[in-house]
Amino acid sequence: MTDSAGIPGGGSDAAGGDARPPRSRRRRLLRWIGLGVALLVLMGAATGWWLYNKLDGNITEDTSAAAELQRYERDRPANFATGAQNILLIGSDSRSGKDNARYGQDEGTQRSDTTILLHLPADRKSATAVSIPRDLMAEIPACLKADGTRSGERFAQFNWAFQWGGAACTIRTVEKLTGIRIDHHMVIDFGGFKQMVDAIGGVEVCLKRPVDDAEARLKLPAGRQTLQGEEALGFVRARYSLGNGSDTERMERQQQFLGSLVKKVQSNGVLLNPARLYPLLDAATSSVTTDPGLASLRGLYELVRGVRDIPTEQIKFLTVPRRPYAANPNRDELNEPDAARLFQQLRMDEPVTITPPKPKAETEAETEATSGTGNEPAEDSGGQPSAGRAGEGTDATPTPVPTFTGTTAGIADCR
């Protein structure tokens, strides 16, 4: 039997053969579903807009540094490599604020505890991070101080530039030292560093021996382990309980830590995990002070997008070539011509070639073998023999590419 529509076994609604709601009820149901979806979309958009504005508003814009740099624009070096960027990363040892007060008394001053020149080439296929020792002797220009007066130009310890004139003075000192144009800068303090480490769930390091350093508030067992914010800060700042107590090993340790941090941030566990990514963005944006060009979520995103796919073995870390300062062995001075060659490579956006530091025993053996012969190996940034020098070729041989002692984010720190 068929009904009037030709459907077997059919029947009218009154007969109970069709369980569908009447057409008017279906229309009302569809309208409510559509309204619900629209509300969800609007709520999602509103939430996304709120989160964007919150993160964007977290960033502190350093307008005073921008104004000071503009004042000396004619004295600043030109940018010789279109598309390349040089970013100065400054770690401040400020004790102001509740997150920093525990590390010492706030005396109203701050110095650059760590300074790294990050070079991003135009092709964004690599990145080079060069540590500048805080004890390096440098020509510091006359700078605008916080009280409105100006300091005099003088030859002094590098990290005094930040105390005398903040980021602008540090940037001008680096530009005078290297001849490299600084495009952007970022300043982060102790509290901000800890927040970012905690936001990604800690960073893995490996210690060959236990550490017990009361001054750095650090007590760790030997072996591989994940450091959270407070421990991580102690690890990168400790000087007297790790290695030989020199700033050289401290900078090497910072570079190893940054390499591990890069690998962690590049992993899917952070970038594809909203529960980790948002806290990282919130911590990063709320703890940095930047130039106007980076002082927005869009500006920081463009920066991160340009480097997120760089292979870890192409993210290079090294220290500016230096040696003990002749007038005071507790300070450093540039080791020439190595330093000039490095700055030239970066200035012209040429690839920087690095070689891992040799084991201490191997270096000592080489030194002993050449001692007294007049053939001492030349020294570069890490106190290691250079693997190659520019300008050493003859007319019959090509000039070798300069090579510097360093490491990469792809090299394990536990060997």
The H or E element spanning position 329 is strand 328-334
Cis check: omega of the bond before 337, within 30 degrees of 0: yes
Report the alpha-carbon angle 300-115-324, nearest 5.
160
User: Could you tell me if 187 and 267 lie in one domain?
Assistant: yes
> Domain of 220: which CATH number?
3.40.630.190
- Determine the Cα–Cα distance for residues 42 and 142; give it in Å rounded to an integer: 54
User: Does residue 290 lie in a domain region?
Assistant: yes
Q: What is the pLDDT of residue 229?
A: 87
Domain count, the chain: 2
Could you tell me if 219 and 188 are in contact, meaning their C-beta atoms sit under 8 angstroms apart?
no
Neighbours of 288 (CB within 10 A): 23
User: Could you tell me if 386 and 270 lie in one domain?
Assistant: no
User: Could you tell me if 358 and 320 lie in one domain?
Assistant: no
Tokens (6 digits) for 335: 């080791």
- Determine the Cα–Cα distance for residues 172 and 187; give it in Å rounded to an integer: 15
User: Could you tell me if 333 and 382 lie in one domain?
Assistant: no
What pTM was computed for the model? 0.76
User: Could you tell me if 225 and 190 lie in one domain?
Assistant: yes
Region for residue 243 given its phi and psi (left: phi exceeds 0; alpha: psi -120 to 50; beta: otherwise) = left
Half-sphere exposure in the Cβ direction for 159 (13 Å, CA): 20
User: Could you tell me if 201 and 294 lie in one domain?
Assistant: yes
User: Does residue 274 lie in a domain region?
Assistant: yes
Q: Where are the beta strands (DSSP E) in 31-152?
A: 60-61, 85-92, 112-120, 127-131, 137-140
User: Could you tell me if 362 and 298 lie in one domain?
Assistant: no
User: Does residue 414 lie in a domain region?
Assistant: no
User: Does residue 11 lie in a domain region?
Assistant: no
User: Could you tell me if 121 and 171 lie in one domain?
Assistant: yes
User: Could you tell me if 339 and 398 lie in one domain?
Assistant: no
H-assigned helices in 111-216: 160-178, 190-199
Which domain covers residue 394, as residue numbers?
Answer: 353-367+377-408
User: Could you tell me if 360 and 341 lie in one domain?
Assistant: no
Q: What is the pLDDT of residue 120?
A: 94
Q: What is the pLDDT of residue 387?
A: 39
User: Does residue 282 lie in a domain region?
Assistant: yes
User: Does residue 44 lie in a domain region?
Assistant: no
At a CB cut-off of 8 Å and minimum separation 6, what does 4 contact?
Answer: none
| Partners of 144 in beta bridges | 150
User: Could you tell me if 360 and 319 lie in one domain?
Assistant: no
pLDDT tens for the chain, residues 1 to 415: 445 444 444 444 444 555 556 777 767 766 666 666 655 555 545 555 556 566 777 788 899 999 999 999 999 999 888 899 999 999 876 544 455 444 444 445 566 678 999 999 999 999 999 999 989 999 999 999 888 899 999 999 999 999 999 999 999 999 999 999 999 999 988 888 888 888 888 988 888 778 887 777 788 888 888 999 888 988 887 766 565 555 677 788 888 888 888 888 877 677 667 777 778 788 888 888 899 988 887 888 778 777 778 898 999 999 999 999 999 998 999 999 999 999 999 999 999 998 887 665 554 444 444 444 444 333 444 444 343 433 344 444 555 567 788 888 877 555 5
User: Could you tell me if 280 and 363 lie in one domain?
Assistant: no
Altogether, the residues listed in the chain come to a count of 415
